[in-house]
Amino acid sequence: MPSISLIVPVLNEAHTIAASLFHLRSSFPACEIIVVDGGSSDNTAEIAKQYARVIVSERGRAHQMNAGASVCSGEILWFIHADSYIDKTALIYIQEVLRTGEVVGGGLTLRFAEDSWSLRLIAKLSNFRAWYLHWIFGDQSMFVRRSDFESIGGFPDLPIMEDLEISRLLKKRGKLVLLPAISTTSARRFIENGTWRTITRMQTLKLQYFLGVDPEDILRKYSNPRGRMRTR
């Protein structure tokens, strides 16, 4: 079986990181785990060292995930958010689907930890997007064959929308798939900022990206304190 490295970008996750890494370590004991800290002001890195190798990089998910990929040893790279809990069956699915060269990567089926009809709808639409458009976003725990990742230069140097852009690049090299294994992710940003307000804002920013708006401007709007959106 091809070896797999789990890469977890973090920033000020001291309140959740221990449980997240304990879950990953116990669920996937044969996998290498690399935690990439983007300069946390709390003790995230110290806690993470109990469960995984920790490196520090420039802040920003693209920078952090590329930094993790540069030091890991796996033939398959698996990028997992610190607030996501992964179905144990995912490992078997990933290894099986990447046995041939047709598939270059993909993601897991999204589910939110908190339950409401609106969150279920958002998860369903996100999975629909991944299935039909082959856009794999970060909360769907993207995985990719290392050789294909390196051939496109890793995540683009973007402050936002890096997961969308790498999906588009990888799609040119082969097939991206959505696996039935579940990635259960916290809906905290939707709860903190309002579900429909958050989804409307995110879709607006995505549209701006496609229209050619500078990603730095998009990030400023995403992180606007008056909009109460979470920073990356």
| Tokens standing for residue 60 | 């920003």
Percent of the chain with pLDDT over 90: 71
Helices (H), the chain: 17-27, 44-48, 61-71, 90-97, 117-133, 146-151, 162-171, 188-193, 195-210, 215-222
Local confidence band at 230 (pLDDT 50, 70, 90 cut-offs): very low
User: Which CATH number goes with the domain that contains 23?
Assistant: 3.90.550.10
**Is the C-alpha dihedral spanning 94, 95, 98, 104 positive or negative?**
positive
67-121 residue pLDDT tens = 999 999 999 999 999 999 999 999 999 999 998 889 999 999 999 999 888 899 9
User: Which of helix, strand or coil describes residue 224?
Assistant: coil
In a domain, 217, yes or no: no
Output the CA torsion 103→71→160→43 (10° steps).
130
Hey, how many other C-beta atoms are within 10 angstroms of the C-beta on 120? 12
Hey, how many other C-beta atoms are within 10 angstroms of the C-beta on 180? 10
Sheet of strand 84-86: strand arrangement: 53-56, 32-37, 4-10, 76-79, 143-145, 103-112, 175-185, 84-86
In a domain, 207, yes or no: no
pLDDT value, residue 158: 85
In a domain, 225, yes or no: no
Provide CB contacts within 8 A for 116, sequence distance 6+.
195
At residue 178, what are phi and psi to the nearest 5 degrees?
-110, 120
In a domain, 172, yes or no: yes
Residue 41, H or E segment: none
In a domain, 200, yes or no: no
Domain count, the chain: 1
Q: In this structure, are residues 157 and 57 in contact, taking their beta carbons and an 8 Å threshold?
A: no
In a domain, 214, yes or no: no
In a domain, 228, yes or no: no
Alpha-carbon distance values, 124 to 59, 111, 127, 188 (Å): 30, 8, 5, 18
2-39 residue pLDDT tens = 899 999 999 999 999 999 999 999 999 999 999 999 99
| Tokens standing for residue 11 | 């920033």
Domain range for 64: 4-186
Q: How far apart are CA 223 and CA 145, in angstroms?
A: 32
In a domain, 114, yes or no: yes
pLDDT at 231 over 60: no
